[in-house]
Amino acid sequence: MIARWPKSLRFGAGIVLLWLIAAVLAPWLTPADPYAIDLDNTLRPPGGDWLMGTDHVGRDVFTRVVFAARIDIWMGVMGVLAPLLIGVTIGLFAGYFGGLFDSVMMRIVDITLAFPFLILVLAIVAMLGPGITNFIIALALVAWVSYARLIRADVMVVKNAEYVQAARTLGFSSPLIIFKHVLPNTISPIIVYAMTDMVLVVLAGASLGFIGLGVQPPTAEWGAMIADGQAYITEAWWVSFFPGLAAVSFGIGLSLIGDGLARMLRIGDT
């Protein structure tokens, strides 16, 4: 089956799988403790005992990059899953039943889309207080609208399809029709979009970490690590460089999966 996947999907899945393995096996793959401060060895360049150098308090950058994958992947998965579940459920029911619920939901979608995504997330986290949980709450509040809008448009088409009409004639209940017939036929674009969305979510999470609204120190997270190195960018580029590289490689993996899936499922222009 894998042999029939598009090249980009195989490649992307490979990268993401590597990161998943790294995240799970982090304690066994890394030479140091991600929190061990070593003031005798601060800002050591890459090489020798330190594959990616050490940061301003002597922590091993390589170890922290690998451990950070746990946080960033978790953030990406939860930050997509929460809005996806909410958005898909609302979109399915709004599209299928129409009426007042649909109108109200679509007004809420319009209003939310009027806000620039990052600004609204930033404002909500600023109010709730820093932390990953609050970031995911903010995403659940804001990002579901894209999923709802996307699936609703397809539901409007599918609900008039012959197989749905047939199911209705046979007297199946609405929830059964929605989940057994409508959902499987409208979910593909959602899956593809979720991949692109995860890139955005990881980047947004890293941005929040960068400005100090995400994970709190000393937890290792790519965005927060980049921020750690900001003050030392002139003398120790490696402190910021490697976490950024990690984020880019993970993002590329996700994008390639999205691209490959779109090609395989024949969605979009590719």
Partner 1 sequence: MFLKVGKRLGHILPVLLGISIVSFGLIQLTPGDPARMILGNKASVEAVEAVRERMGLNEPVLQQYGNYMLNLVQGDLGESLRYQQPVSELIMQFLPVTGFLALYVIVLTVPLTILLGILAARNRGRWIDQLIRMTSVLGMTMPVFWLAMLMLRIFSVELGWFPVSGFGTGFVGHLHHLFLPAVSVSIYLIPVLVRNLRAALLEEMNADYVVASRSKGLPEGYIFRRHILKNASLPTLNLFGVLITWLIGGTVIVELVYAIPGLGTLMFNAILGRDYSVIQGLTLFYAFSTVIITLVTDMLSALIDPRIEL
**CB 66 within 8 Å of CB 30:** yes
The sign of the CA dihedral 174, 168, 148, 101 is: negative
Alpha helix stretches (DSSP H) within 159-236: 162-169, 174-177, 183-210, 222-230
One character per residue 109-138, x = contact with partner 1 (rule: CB under 8 A)? -xxx-xxxxxxx-xxx-xxxx---------
Q: End-to-end CA distance of the chain, in Å? A: 21
* Among 55, 154, 197, 259, interactor with partner 1 by CB under 8 A: 259
CA dihedral (54, 212, 16, 190) in degrees, to 10, reads: -170
Decide if 88 contacts 185 (C-beta within 8 A).
Answer: no
Regarding 99 and contact with partner 1 (CB under 8 A), the answer is no
Q: How far apart are CA 95 and CA 108, in angstroms?
A: 14
User: By C-alpha distance, which of 104, 114, 121, 24 is closest to 70?
Assistant: 24
Q: List binders of partner 1 among 3-42 (CB under 8 A).
A: none
Structure tokens at 178: 């929605």
Both tokens of 173, joined, read 């209940």
- Considering only 41, 89, 185, 207, the residue that binds partner 1 (CB under 8 A) is 207
Q: Does 269 bind partner 1 (CB under 8 A)?
A: yes
- Of positions 145, 210, 221, 224, contacts partner 1 by CB under 8 A: 210
247 binds partner 1 (CB under 8 A): yes
Is 255 a binding residue for partner 1 by CB under 8 A? The answer is yes
* Minimum CB distance to partner 1, residue 163 (Å): 29
- Which of residues 92, 155, 164, 199 is near partner 1 by CB under 8 A? 199
Shortest reach from residue 270's CB to partner 1, in Å: 9
Nearer to partner 1, 98 or 244 (CB): 244
Euclidean distance between CA atoms 180 and 175, whole angstroms: 8
Among 24, 25, 85, 233, binds partner 1 (CB under 8 A): 233
Does 268 interact with partner 1 (rule: CB under 8 A)?
yes
CA separation for the pair 105, 87 (Å, rounded): 10
Applying CB under 8 A, which residues contact partner 1?
A: 107-108, 110-112, 114-120, 122-124, 126-129, 199, 203, 206-207, 210-213, 222-223, 226, 229-230, 233-234, 237, 240-241, 243-244, 247-248, 250-252, 254-256, 259, 268-269
